[in-house]
């Protein structure tokens, strides 16, 4: 069976990573490689799910960058962070310590995903029901459009009860805002999100990138704010989180290549890492990260000559 053509994988990376992704997309387009047009499938994980909705919105890359930098989008993120009723009830350091403990104790990928789901469900009682709608409204405010695109797009979530992967797409019968809200619900930091009676958490607890979902595509471009970095992650957040075999980007890329896919992975360069700072969850990192991503994207275009 002939392979499909181009898959674009957008990995997770907090507020900084989300903005960096859009900056990269805009920079690549400026240099002649418009992935909003070239990608036959877009896969978004965690903050990459929001970026995927941007990429598939029909807006040109330059407008996407302007959207990410706009005051209304910045204020939407700041409102979530600053609102007492919706702010994380646990210190961020405590949340990441719990995630590291879950990863250390897990004996399999599904075990880890179930434990992370249980952590998310446990946190719901502390966060309170008001946080659910407040967060959905914040996600809606950050999407250029609220309808699923005609062209294929997947946003990745995990069932909080079973730990199973859920790849939401146009055929799922789920509202796009709900799908992205579920796909970005980080346990301990945001409430789980209910869809058709099931509760979901962030797809990044399975894999930072979920690049394996691009299987069958001849060409795969992975934009990964965290995975495959040449240097360590800043201390106190995502560093040291244990991944089960096959769930890391390197393993997924190797598998795709063995299946015949041409894969290119772009991760933050030194200037982008500096712009992203030490707290990737901070909305204040969005503007510098988007601008650094734009500059990097223009330099990375030479790597996409195979498209």
DSSP state of 263: E
Q: Are 32 and 301 in contact, with CB atoms under 8 Å apart?
A: yes
Looking at domain 6-69+88-304, its CATH class is alpha beta
Q: Mark the ranges of the chain whose per-residue pLDDT is less than 70.
A: 1-3, 72-90, 228-242
Q: Are 172 and 156 in contact, with CB atoms under 8 Å apart?
A: no
Write the Ramachandran bin of 199: left for phi over 0, alpha for psi from -120 to 50, otherwise beta: beta
State residue 243's pLDDT score.
Answer: 73
State residue 237's pLDDT score.
Answer: 60
CA distances (Å), origin 48, targets 73, 202, 258: 16, 11, 25
pLDDT in tens, 23-65: 999 999 999 999 999 999 999 999 999 999 999 999 999 999 9
The most distant pair of C-alpha atoms in the chain lies apart, rounded to whole Å, by 54
pLDDT in tens, 160-188: 999 999 999 999 999 999 999 999 999 98
Instruction: Spell out the domain ranges in the chain.
Output: 6-69+88-304
- The residues near 173 (Cβ < 8 Å, ≥ 6 apart) are none
- The residues near 3 (Cβ < 8 Å, ≥ 6 apart) are 216, 217, 218, 260, 261
Q: Are 261 and 5 in contact, with CB atoms under 8 Å apart?
A: no
Q: Are 226 and 268 in contact, with CB atoms under 8 Å apart?
A: no
State residue 86's pLDDT score.
Answer: 43
DSSP of 157-205: EEETTT--EEEE-GGG---HHHHHHHHT--TTTS--EEETTEEEEEGGG
CB atoms within 10 A of CB 126: 12
State residue 96's pLDDT score.
Answer: 84
Coil, strand or helix: which one is 145?
Answer: coil
State residue 247's pLDDT score.
Answer: 85
Q: Are 117 and 151 in contact, with CB atoms under 8 Å apart?
A: no
State residue 246's pLDDT score.
Answer: 75
Token representation of residue 74: 């910045």
State residue 226's pLDDT score.
Answer: 83
């Amino acid at each position: 069976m002939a392979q499909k053509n181009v898959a674009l994988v957008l990995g997770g990376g907090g507020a900084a990573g989300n903005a960096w992704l859009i900056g990269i997309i805009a920079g690549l387009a400026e240099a002649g490689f418009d992935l909003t047009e070239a990608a036959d499938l877009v896969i978004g994980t965690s903050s990459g799910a929001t970026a995927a909705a941007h990429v598939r919105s029909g807006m040109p890359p330059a407008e996407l960058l302007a959207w990410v930098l706009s005051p209304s989008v910045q204020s939407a993120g700041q409102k979530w962070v600053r609102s007492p009723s919706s702010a994380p009830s646990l210190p961020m350091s405590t949340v990441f310590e719990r995630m590291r403990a879950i990863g250390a104790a897990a004996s399999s990928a599904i075990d880890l995903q179930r434990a992370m789901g249980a952590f998310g469900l446990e946190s719901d009682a502390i966060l309170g029901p008001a946080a659910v709608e407040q967060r959905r409204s914040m996600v809606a405010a950050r999407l250029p459009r609220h309808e699923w695109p005609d062209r294929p797009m997947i946003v990745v979530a995990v069932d909080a009860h079973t730990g199973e992967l859920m790849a939401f797409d146009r055929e799922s019968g789920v509202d796009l805002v709900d799908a992205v809200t579920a796909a970005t619900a980080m346990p301990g930091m945001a409430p789980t999100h209910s869809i058709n009676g099931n509760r979901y958490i962030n797809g990044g607890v399975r894999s930072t990138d979920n690049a394996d979902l691009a299987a069958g595509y001849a060409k795969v471009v992975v934009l990964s704010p965290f995975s495959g970095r040449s240097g360590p992650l800043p201390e106190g957040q995502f560093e040291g989180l244990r991944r089960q075999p096959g769930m890391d980007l390197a393993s997924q890329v190797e598998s795709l290549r063995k299946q015949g896919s041409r894969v290119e992975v772009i991760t933050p360069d030194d200037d982008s890492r500096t712009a992203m700072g030490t707290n990737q969850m901070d909305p204040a990192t969005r503007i510098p990260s988007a601008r650094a991503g734009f500059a990097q994207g223009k330099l990375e275009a030479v790597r996409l000559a195979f498209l």
